[in-house]
Amino acid sequence: MKPTPLSIAAVFAVVITYIRAIFFTPLEALQGPAQKILYVHAPAAWVAFMAFGLVALVSILYLWLREDRLDRIAEASAEVGVVFTTVVLTTGPLWGRPIWGAYWTWDARLTLTLFLWFIYVAYLVLRGAIEDKDMRARYSAVLGILGALLIPFIHLSVYLFRTLHPRPILMKPSAPSLPGEMLTTLLLAFAAFTLLYVALLRARYRYAVERDNAHPPETYVA
């Protein structure tokens, strides 16, 4: 697998984001340096939601059209989504410890995000456990759709429940509540990590195509 212009652009964009966030973005007055975790934490959460949203979308299309490539896109997006959710669940506690005084609290936002991670890890395990191609695609499509139903609850959990987690500063009906320099860095981070997601998704999809060409999946007739 050779580096593509897309993957090079994604790595370049992430490096630029890191440099801007670390060296050229001011510190927040109350939280200090820990607030800069925002620039890796929030974009990873956005990408995870987008990845699992795509799993649900292509899974619905798969159940309708029964096209193998839709199943492969769902498989690839779920795996990359799990990677981004792992980043969310790692950077979140590292931000929570200095600001809240605890790495973890069982509040709605955090707990539901952990459940989302479990569901899509289970999705990947399920895929590995079923040999029949059609059955695997059908069962995992259903799980992929059901798992994505958690996403709106996670987004709205900070409004529906009393939580320690702050409310959105960007994805809300009113204007973003961040100074210009911080907002620019955050928007750059959203773009860079979205690009990284697209590059990883493409690489993982190409792997799935090559794997199925090299070892065609079995279909059992009952």
Give me the residues that bind another protein (CB under 8 A), please. Answer: 1, 14, 18, 22, 27, 29, 31-34, 36-37, 40-41, 44, 80, 83, 86-87, 90-91, 94-95, 97-99, 196, 200, 203-204, 207, 210-211, 214-215
Q: How distant, in Å, are the alpha carbons of 77, 79, 129, 133, 207 from that of 204?
A: 8, 8, 19, 18, 5
Minimum separation from the CB atom of position 34 to another protein (A)? 4
Count of CB atoms situated within 10 Å of the CB of 178: 16
Closer of 128 and 173 to another protein (Cβ): 128
Closer of 118 and 159 to another protein (Cβ): 118
Minimum separation from the CB atom of position 95 to another protein (A)? 6
Closer of 95 and 123 to another protein (Cβ): 95
Closer of 45 and 145 to another protein (Cβ): 45
Distance CA 73, CA 58 (A): 7
Q: Can you name the residues that pair with 32 across neighbouring β-strands?
A: 28
Closer of 123 and 145 to another protein (Cβ): 123
Amino acid at 182: M
Residue 28: both structure tokens together:
């927040």
Closer of 66 and 97 to another protein (Cβ): 97
Do residues 87 and 40 lie in contact, with contact meaning Cβ atoms separated by under 8 Å?
yes
Minimum separation from the CB atom of position 36 to another protein (A)? 5
Do residues 45 and 189 lie in contact, with contact meaning Cβ atoms separated by under 8 Å?
no
What are all long-range contacts of 27-31, with beta carbons under 8 Å and residues at least 24 apart? 28/182, 31/98, 31/99
Number of H helices, E strands in the chain: 7, 0
Minimum separation from the CB atom of position 207 to another protein (A)? 6
Minimum separation from the CB atom of position 84 to another protein (A)? 9
Minimum separation from the CB atom of position 87 to another protein (A)? 5
* φ/ψ (deg, to 5) at 140: -70, -30
